[in-house]
Amino acid sequence: MEIQGLAIMLLIGAISGWLAGLLSKGRGFGLFGNIVVGVVGAVIGRYLMAFLGFAVTGLLGAIISATLGALVLLFTINLIFRK
């Protein structure tokens, strides 16, 4: 992967992790944690959208699918580690 592709992936991960942190019950896991949740969420979101039959294109589509994937990930984490 080129450095530019990595930077874009981290930026999308940061944005989607931040958005998911705002939309979920808590405030996320801090900057680094939100980036990790966003990047993992991007993978989950991409597979989820493909499974549901939606085509994800463009930067906005990537951010939306990554945010949805991050929300699914945060929901799962909250179910597992519920206080």
One digit per residue, pLDDT tens: the chain, 83 residues?
688 877 887 788 888 888 887 887 666 677 778 778 888 988 888 889 999 999 888 888 888 888 899 889 888 887 888 76
Tokens at residue 23, please? 């939309």
This prediction has a pTM of 0.79
Rounded-to-integer distance, Cα 42 and Cα 66, Å? 4
Rounded-to-integer distance, Cα 44 and Cα 73, Å? 8
